[in-house]
Amino acid sequence: MKQFLPAALALSLAAAPAFAAEPLSANAFESYVNGKTLYYGMSGDAYGVEEYLPDRRVRWSFLDGKCKEGYWYEAEGSQICFVYEDSPDPQCWTFFREGSKLRAVFENDPSSTVLYEARQNDEPMMCYGPDVGV
């Protein structure tokens, strides 16, 4: 019995990291996303797409062809904050690796928005030009 308890404790401690994902640091996040275009989903529906450019620059779209330019930076507590051209207010997220993909929790309202990486590629996003009319 004495040999069983330490073995069981060792197994439970080894399994603990699988259940308690650690937030990605800015360096780990940058290493994962740089040069990629990630498509995000929420509750099984398509949500948006973000292209990760050099120097922590980004391009975001809600999949409507309208793109917003921005940048990201690391804030306290392993949060990754994004600022876009249409709003000076940062939008802060905590990113986690889940298997081979990302999960993102919106820290401005963590109870309402959790995004999951649906897919990725290294193709640039399709962005339409300004509205053209008569």
Q: What pLDDT sits at residue 112?
A: 79
Kindly state the tokens that stand for 121.
Answer: 């590629």
For residue 15, being part of any structural domain is answered with no
CB 118 within 8 A of CB 46: yes
Q: What pLDDT sits at residue 44?
A: 92
**pLDDT 10s digits, 86-124:** 999 999 999 999 999 999 999 988 777 999 999 999 999
For residue 11, being part of any structural domain is answered with no
Number of independent structural domains in the chain = 1
For residue 133, being part of any structural domain is answered with no
State how far the Cα of 70 lies from the Cα of 129, in Å rounded to an integer. 17
For residue 3, being part of any structural domain is answered with no
**In which domain, by residue range, is 57 found?**
22-121
For residue 103, being part of any structural domain is answered with yes
For residue 8, being part of any structural domain is answered with no
Tell me what percent of the residues of the chain surpass a pLDDT of 70: 81
CATH code, 73: 2.40.128.640
For residue 129, being part of any structural domain is answered with no
